[in-house]
């Protein structure tokens, strides 16, 4: 069934020749966003309620407080219309400035937060051994890699107990392996399954080959228990030839992940030169990167499309020109009843909030709301209204409510 696409705002044409780093960062100064946008749910009011420095992830707590990360390493709490001082006790992160894809990334609350007060954060850390890895270059990225950056780093996930404005009893429960020098594509969206397992998206670190290598957890969706141990029913658990934390592999740069109410996990990943993907994640599935893609390498050669490999899982939907997906959720509120059950996805280069109404394992309807800003993440509040964060040096926290 072919998807139906609805657009309520005129979109400027965009070149698909976007650098990998440009897909994750944007200029600091952008024009004010529109104050209203039309949609299938009626006119929507857009209100700026706070400003942060490169916000990246959000999590809504059961009592209505909202956790928000800032890439330079700050975790904030937004409550009663006010933004808190930085939460104390957050681990040190590696962040090298506006163009860096690292720093403090996603945040998620434990499914039993009301009783245990645990939260989970993903971030980028320096290799404690201080190792140096020579940079050999990567022709497939053309000029879009910084060959002067030799800092060896990798992603990590830690959990801690939120006590007021303090994070206590912090422990690292997962790390990317191996750590490598420079570059981006950390991934690191966090999402809980219905049975309480933690999914982690781990990017390929712009290294290509690790995504298909089962001895690494780069370019993979990972599944772990909340204490960092490995579930016994993971597809490669107990094998010497693969890492036990792997749930699926052959991924590129997944910056959006959401669990559907029926339990299915969906991820969106950035393609290279074109070919952004929506994938329905299957246990043990191989999604083909870097051997197939509906996009092409920046510096050549071209990449075979998905239909050339019947042994890999094809994406449900691809986009060229790209949307640069970042952040996703399934809407279940009452403020926008026409959207119940739809996936809402942030768009960076597309500067849009994208609604995907699924029809089984296909996209039935696609709607794009042009926001005029790079949307990094989206969250649903307790009253069903929406919060979105803007990827910018002065990145707005925006509240979306029905226009009356």
Going by C-beta distance under 8 Å and a sequence separation of 6 or more, which residues neighbour residue 139?
299, 300
Catalytic, out of 185, 188, 251, 306: 185
- Is the Cβ–Cβ distance between 68 and 78 less than 8 Å? yes
CB atoms within 10 A of CB 164: 10
C-alpha to C-alpha distance for 340 and 386, rounded to whole angstroms: 13
Return averaged pLDDT per consecutive 10 residues of the chain, 404 residues in all: 43 34 44 84 96 98 98 98 97 92 97 98 88 69 77 95 98 95 91 98 93 97 98 97 98 98 97 97 98 93 94 97 98 97 98 97 97 97 97 97 92
Q: For this structure, is 185 an active site residue?
A: yes
Strands 55-60, 395-402: parallel, antiparallel or unpaired by DSSP?
A: unpaired
Question: How confident is the model over 109-123, as pLDDT tens digits?
Answer: 999 999 999 999 999
Element spanning 116, H or E? helix 113-116
Longest dimension (CA), the chain: 60
Could you write out the DSSP letters of every residue in 55-109?
A: EEEEEE-TTS-EEEEETTTEEEEEETTEEPPPPBTPPP----STT-S-SEEEEEE
| Structure tokens given for 272 | 């290279």
Indicate the domain borders of the chain.
4-402
- CATH top-level class for 4-402? mainly beta
Question: How confident is the model over 346-399, as pLDDT tens digits?
Answer: 999 999 999 999 999 999 999 999 999 999 999 999 999 999 999 999 999 999
Please, which residues bridge with residue 248 across strands?
Answer: 221
Residue in this structure with the two tokens 């959990």, named with its chain if needed: 159
C-alpha to C-alpha distance for 379 and 60, rounded to whole angstroms: 7
| Structure tokens given for 295 | 């996009």
pLDDT at 29: 58
Question: In Å, what is the CA distance from 261 to each residue of 152, 330, 335?
Answer: 39, 8, 18
| Structure tokens given for 169 | 């009893």
What are residue 198's phi and psi, to 5 degrees?
-105, 120
């Amino acid at each position: 069934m072919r998807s139906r696409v609805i657009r309520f705002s005129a979109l400027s044409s965009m070149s698909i020749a976007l650098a990998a780093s440009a897909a994750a960062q944007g200029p600091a100064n952008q024009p004010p966003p529109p104050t209203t946008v039309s949609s299938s749910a009626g006119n929507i009011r857009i209100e700026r309620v706070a400003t942060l420095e490169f916000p990246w992830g959000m999590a809504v707590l059961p009592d209505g407080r909202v956790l928000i990360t800032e890439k330079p390493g700050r975790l904030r709490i937004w409550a009663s219309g006010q933004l808190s001082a930085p939460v104390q006790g957050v681990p040190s992160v590696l962040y090298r400035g506006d163009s860096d894809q690292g720093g403090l990334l996603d945040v998620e609350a434990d499914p039993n937060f009301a009783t245990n007060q645990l939260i989970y954060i993903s971030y980028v850390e320096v290799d404690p051994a201080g190792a140096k890895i020579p940079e050999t270059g990567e022709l497939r990225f053309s000029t879009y890699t910084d060959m002067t950056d030799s800092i060896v780093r990798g992603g990590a996930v830690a959990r801690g107990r939120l006590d007021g404005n303090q994070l206590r009893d912090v422990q690292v429960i997962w790390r990317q392996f191996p750590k490598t020098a420079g570059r981006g594509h950390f991934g690191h969206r966090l999402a809980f399954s219905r049975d309480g397992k933690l999914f982690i998206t781990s990017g390929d670190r712009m290294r290509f080959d690790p995504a298909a290598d089962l001895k690494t957890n780069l370019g993979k969706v990972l599944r772990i228990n909340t204490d960092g141990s490995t579930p016994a029913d993971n597809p490669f658990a107990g094998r010497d030839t693969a890492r036990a934390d792997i749930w699926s592999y052959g991924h590129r740069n997944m910056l959006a992940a959401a669990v559907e109410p029926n339990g299915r996990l969906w991820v969106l990943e950035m393609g290279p030169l074109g070919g952004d993907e929506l994938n329905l994640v299957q246990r043990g599935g191989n999604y083909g990167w870097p051997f197939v893609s509906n996009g092409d390498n920046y510096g050549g050669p071209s990449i075979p499309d998905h239909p050339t490999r019947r042994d890999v899982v094809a994406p449900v939907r691809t986009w060229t020109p790209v949307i640069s997906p970042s952040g996703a959720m399934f809407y279940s509120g009452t403020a926008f009843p026409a959207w119940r059950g739809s996936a809402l996805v942030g768009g960076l280069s597309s500067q849009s909030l994208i609604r995907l109404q699924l029809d089984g394992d296909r996209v039935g309807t696609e709607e794009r709301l042009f926001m005029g800003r790079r949307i990094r993440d989206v969250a649903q509040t307790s009253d069903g209204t929406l919060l979105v964060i803007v990827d910018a040096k002065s990145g707005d926290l925006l509240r979306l409510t029905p226009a009356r």
